[in-house]
Amino acid sequence: MHPEHTAIAPAIDTSSAGFLPPGLLNRLESSGPRYTSYPTADRFVEAHGPEQHVLALAQRAQGIGGAVGSSAPLSVYVHVPFCESLCYYCACNKIVTKHHERGAEYLKLLDAEIDMWTAGLGGRPRVTQLHLGGGTPTFLSDTELTQLTERLKQAFEWLPGIEASIEVDPRTVNAARLAHLKALGFNRLSLGIQDFDLRVQQAVHRVQSFADVAQLMQDARTLGYQSINLDLICGLPLQTIASFDRTLQQVIELRPERIALYAYAHLPQRFKAQRRIHSADIPLPETRLQMHAQAISAFMQAGYEHIGMDHFALPSDALAQAKRQGRLHRNFQGYTVQPDGDLIGLGVSAISRVGASYCQNAKTIEEYADALAQGQWPVVRGIALNRDDLVRRATIMALMCQGRLDFQGLADAHLIDPKKYFAAELEALKSHQEQGLVQISDQAVEVTPLGWFFVRSVAAVFDRFLQLEGAREKFSKII
């Protein structure tokens, strides 16, 4: 991808929340995948288990079957499922407990899985990206975090310039803990904020003051962290346009390098914790859409660049630079500057990508531990991509990351005629062109500045699984 082919900044007036046409918001107010993978995790099957995973590792070692080769650097994700208290909005795989001794037990399980990975990959694989997520990784003690990171450094070669990030509940850290994490090699933080309004925080059982977060960010910057991300959620109970605007202004005052703005998906039938939220307290869809547009306007006016979907970054941040230069990629950790490649997922429910294969670990500690005790991979489901999946993965990721699907490039890489292969999809995409979201030419499909805000909807046109009845209802709202 050449930089001149990348949509660099919206050439639209973002001076008010009305810059996103209300009619367009309503038409596209549907559900869809976030495309951290394709096919998405809901398409994984139990028939793809440990044997298929071992085959994928063998293919990686040989550089066949869609694999990138055994010498290519990796990304590593570690899932720490524990939390001290329950956040009612949460849809993550977590274990709420105050028994911190469970952390030591879990580290032993991770150690066993790491051994399996190093044996399966051979040697000491190189790593350019590490992310600790959860749950709450800082549920672990400083000693346990030291033990975990030293084990990861022993098993994997941390390359110079590695992006090492950790998700942090602001209620679980102080300046001393941040200093300890920095000494361990972490250089990026992601703080779960969600909202600064006290009534909203009480409604979702996550109270943390603006002053405390501001102090943590000041401490982190003094310590030299390269980047701080703040997570926000739009559509939480008791949020109003006025209260959310106050949160937005407070976030802008903190000036994080990155902002992730998620839409709350209320699915109490799937996520037990959400049953504690009163449905009557949730903002109406039209209010939520207005708040979302309000947030986009506020961030753009404050100098943030829109990376894609619900992610924003300051122009000086590596993510914004990668967007401008056409080097943006996407994996299970979201948008990243790391080259497209394999990802190791460690821990319960973690998802891995190895070449043309995805696999997911058991979701409960009991099942995860049982597999490891028997010397077996804790993989319980996954999928091996066929030729059509690979073509569509390349197409969707090109749109999600570069905002451009180059027909000749796709033809050269996959030996197809994209216009014939995607004849039905290109026809369906004409409605997006009429709405000003894409431009379709003989050479390419290009996402417009306005279309970047709806890029999930553009990419979804090429998702063959979404054609199945009821498939969209499994996902969060596109905007």
Q: Could you tell me which residues are annotated as the binding site for [4Fe-4S] cluster?
A: 83, 87, 90
Q: Please report, in range form, the residues annotated as the binding site.
A: 77, 83, 87, 89-91, 134-136, 167, 194, 206, 231, 265, 351
Tokens 């003051």, residue? Answer: 209
Closest Cα partner for 227 from 340, 320, 326, 344?
A: 320
Contact 454, 437 (CB under 8 A): yes
Half-sphere exposure of 207 (CA within 13 A, CB side): 5
How far is it, in rounded angstroms, from Cα 398 to Cα 327? 11
Three-class DSSP category at 60: helix
Contact 288, 263 (CB under 8 A): yes
Residue 373, exposed/middle/buried by CB under 10 A (0-12, 13-18, 19+)? exposed
Which residues, 6 or more positions from 435, have their beta carbon under 8 angstroms from its beta carbon?
A: 24, 27
Rg, Å, the chain Cα set: 22
Distances (CA, A) of 345 to 233, 354, 372, 377: 25, 10, 15, 12
Three-class DSSP category at 117: helix
Tokens 């310039």, residue? Answer: 161
SS3 content of the chain, % helix, strand, coil (to 5): 45, 20, 35
Which residues, 6 or more positions from 4, have their beta carbon under 8 angstroms from its beta carbon?
A: none
How far is it, in rounded angstroms, from Cα 314 to Cα 303? 7
Q: Please report, in range form, the residues annotated as the binding site for S-adenosyl-L-methionine.
A: 77, 89-91, 134-136, 167, 194, 206, 231, 265, 351
Q: Which two tokens stand for residue 119?
A: 């044996």
How far is it, in rounded angstroms, from Cα 217 to Cα 227? 10
Q: Which two tokens stand for residue 42?
A: 């809901």
